[in-house]
Amino acid sequence: MPSATMTSKGQITVPAQVRQAMRVQTGDRIEFVELGHGRFEIMPATRSIKELNGLFKGRRKKPVTIEEMDEAIARAASRSR
């Protein structure tokens, strides 16, 4: 099983076997997804924003205003406290 050691700066080197399996390269981003109880899954964050085109097509008929966005953000923030 591949492993890594954390430096004093909190950095690790992802083993070559893991990088190849994840298909990540220099400069790619990696996300850490919390599964619970101190366990995390690492995932490549290499998807292009262009892949999202059309994903929500037809979900909303009218554009959302800035005020509606601010209200939604405030509601979500108040629930997360």
**For the segment 8-31, what is each residue's pLDDT rounded down to a tens digit?**
999 999 999 999 999 898 988 899
pLDDT at 69: 92
CA atoms within 13 A on the CB side of 56: 7
CA distances from 17 to 3, 5, 14, 25, 31 (A): 10, 15, 8, 12, 18
Residue ranges of the chain whose pLDDT lies below 50: none
pLDDT at 79: 81
pLDDT at 46: 74
- Residue 18 dihedral angles phi and psi, to the nearest 5°: -70, -45
